[in-house]
């Protein structure tokens, strides 16, 4: 099975711009979660989607939004970029069946805001 | 909200020495997961613990879940250079996938 893919892998934007990141989960996985990873804060949960519905949301401002499509692919959008949004954005998919809800992470999108 | 504290943040060990990282949650967890992230890589799932007092082993790695389901530890016996990376615990206190990650412990192994 192909792993989780994320596009683009690298992105450079300037303050005030907006950005859309894409994630394709492992085939058959219906749960997709997004995380922001920075050296000082570790992995911070953004949101989780399951069957096109946002099931959980972290403590991020409304500038961060997402959606999931019927094929389970997910996108994350950040509007009005700030310098502090520079980070590695990781997407993870999960089969979300049974007791073990292991997450499979993609390689991430490294966003730099200038 | 739920907080998961993880210590230490950094650990340097001589190859062959043991290593332990600890996680402590502010709330009772339904399960806890452990992940390893190699330098430049992404987190990779190691294991999930569900039961109170559970102990699981994977070769030189031993994982424990506390009796109160609020703390957990990962112990590596006789570290090797291949163990280098950051180890994260991730606590799940609700249903579905609302997971809180610890800050991670970055392990350096000196050959």
Phi, psi for residue B83 in degrees, rounded to 5? -85, -5
pLDDT digits (tens, 9 = 90+) for B17-68: 999 999 999 999 999 999 999 999 999 999 999 999 999 999 999 999 999 9
Chain B interface, best mutation among A68, A72, A103, by max B CB count within 10 A: A103
Does residue A9 carry a pLDDT above 90?
yes
Predicted pLDDT at B75: 98
Does residue B74 carry a pLDDT above 90?
yes
- The encoded tokens of residue A103 equal 């997450």
Neighbours of B95 (CB within 10 A): 10
Give the mean pLDDT of chain B.
Answer: 94
Does residue A100 carry a pLDDT above 80?
no
Does residue A20 carry a pLDDT above 70?
yes
Size of interface A-B (CB pairs under 8 A): 67
Please report residues of A whose CB lies closer than 8 A to that of B36. Answer: none
User: Average pLDDT in the A54-80 region?
Assistant: 95
Please enumerate residues of B whose Cβ is less than 8 A from a Cβ of A.
1, 31, 33, 35, 41-45, 48, 50, 88, 90, 92, 94, 96-104
Does residue A99 carry a pLDDT above 70?
no
Q: How far is CA A101 from CA A38, B41, B48, B105, in A?
A: 24, 21, 8, 22
């Amino acid at each position: 099975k192909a792993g989780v893919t994320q596009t683009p892998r690298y992105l450079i934007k300037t303050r005030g711009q907006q950005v859309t990141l894409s994630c394709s989960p492992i085939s058959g996985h219906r749960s997709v979660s997004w995380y922001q990873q920075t050296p000082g804060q570790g992995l911070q949960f953004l949101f989780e989607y399951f069957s096109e519905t946002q099931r959980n949301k972290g403590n991020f401002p409304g500038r961060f939004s997402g959606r999931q499509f019927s094929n389970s692919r997910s996108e994350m959008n950040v509007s009005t970029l700030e310098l502090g949004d520079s980070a590695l954005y990781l997407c993870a998919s999960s089969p979300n069946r049974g007791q073990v809800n292991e997450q499979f992470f993609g390689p991430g999108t490294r966003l730099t805001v200038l | 909200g739920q907080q998961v504290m993880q210590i230490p943040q950094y650990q340097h060990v001589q190859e062959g020495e043991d290593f332990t990282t600890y996680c402590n949650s502010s709330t009772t967890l339904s399960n806890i997961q452990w992940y390893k992230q190699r330098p430049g890589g992404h987190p990779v799932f190691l294991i999930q613990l569900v039961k109170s007092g559970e102990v699981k082993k994977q070769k030189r790695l031993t994982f424990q879940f506390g009796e109160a389901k609020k703390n957990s530890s990962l112990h590596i016996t006789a570290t090797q250079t291949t163990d280098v990376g950051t180890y994260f615990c991730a606590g799940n206190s609700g249903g579905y996938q609302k997971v809180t990650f610890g800050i991670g412990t970055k392990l350096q192994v000196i050959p």
